Amino acid sequence: MKHLLSCVVLLVALAVPAWPQSAEMGISAGYGSLGDSDISVTEIAATASRETYSLSNGVRIGARMGFNTRRFIGHEASYAYQHARLDVLASAPDATETADLGAIRAHHFYYNGLLHAAPTGFPVRPFVTGGGGFSSFFLPGISSLSGGGDTKFGYNYGGGVKLNFFQYGIRFDVRNHVTGKPFGRYLPNVDGKLNNTEFSVTFYVLLG
């Protein structure tokens, strides 16, 4: 307990020189965990077989630009690139086969509002956030710069904490991004929502 208290005191002492800033700009990295990842399921009653297409979890990299418009209120624009994988599982009464169909790439563009538990300039700022935007998904073999993606509008919500040190900071976010399931133009029986939970860390610069 004594060591923990010492670490907290040191953290606050290092962060005290932070002062109110109007903007934050940083780069982020993390992981996207996909819930409801089965995007296409086809059942063939005559053979009692099933074919399931699903998305895997994957890494995320991106950037954020935030603005502190009030003491406790801010907003931000963010971009993230996510790498995942498309798998297909073919199951029958006497056999099961799984195939990796290749890499799925996604671009995420979102605009969020933030409500902080501490004012600008405070060294430790927990926050909650919510916003909307869109995600563009690209099938294996299709370049993510080709414009041939499947775009889905959606929303996200979550929270995190910011730690400010002088002119720099680090923040940790957990957010759930909800969109429609992609690739309905290419795969059968695509329906429902895709939950993509983001776990990320962002290193940023405080701007006056």
pLDDT in tens, 37-48: 889 888 877 677
What gap in Å lies between CA 92 and CA 20, rounded to an integer? 62
Angle ∠(45,88,52) on CA atoms, nearest 5: 35
User: Which one of 87-91, 100-104, 145-149, 174-178 scores highest in mean pLDDT?
Assistant: 174-178
What gap in Å lies between CA 16 and CA 69, rounded to an integer? 21
Neighbour-count burial for 41-54, b at 16+ CB within 10 Å, e otherwise: beeeeeeebebbbb
Q: Which CATH number fits the domain that encloses residue 140?
A: 2.40.160.20
* Predicted confidence (pLDDT) per residue in 66-102, tens digit: 999 899 999 999 999 999 999 998 887 777 888 889 9
Whether residue 47 lies inside any domain: the answer is: yes
Angle ∠(151,153,155) on CA atoms, nearest 5: 140
Q: Is the pLDDT of residue 105 over 90?
A: yes
What are the DSSP calls for 76-115, one per residue?
EEEEEEEEEEEEEEEEETTEEEEEEEEEEEEEEEEEEEEE
User: H or E element: which one contains 7?
Assistant: helix 2-15
Query: Is 157:175 a contact under the CB 8 Å cutoff?
Result: yes
Residue 160's domain spans which residues? Answer: 21-207
Mean pLDDT for the chain? 87
Enter the DSSP assignment of 123.
S
Whether residue 3 lies inside any domain: the answer is: no
- Beta strand 58-68 with 124-138 is unpaired
Position 99 scores a pLDDT of 87
- How many domains does one find in the chain? 1
Whether residue 12 lies inside any domain: the answer is: no
Position 8 scores a pLDDT of 40
Whether residue 1 lies inside any domain: the answer is: no
Query: What single letter denotes the amino acid at residue 145?
Result: L
Whether residue 34 lies inside any domain: the answer is: yes
Q: Is the pTM of this model over 0.85?
A: no
Whether residue 118 lies inside any domain: the answer is: yes
Whether residue 53 lies inside any domain: the answer is: yes
Mean pLDDT of the 182-189 span: 91
Whether residue 48 lies inside any domain: the answer is: yes
Nearest to 53 by CA among 69, 36, 68: 36
Position 171 scores a pLDDT of 98
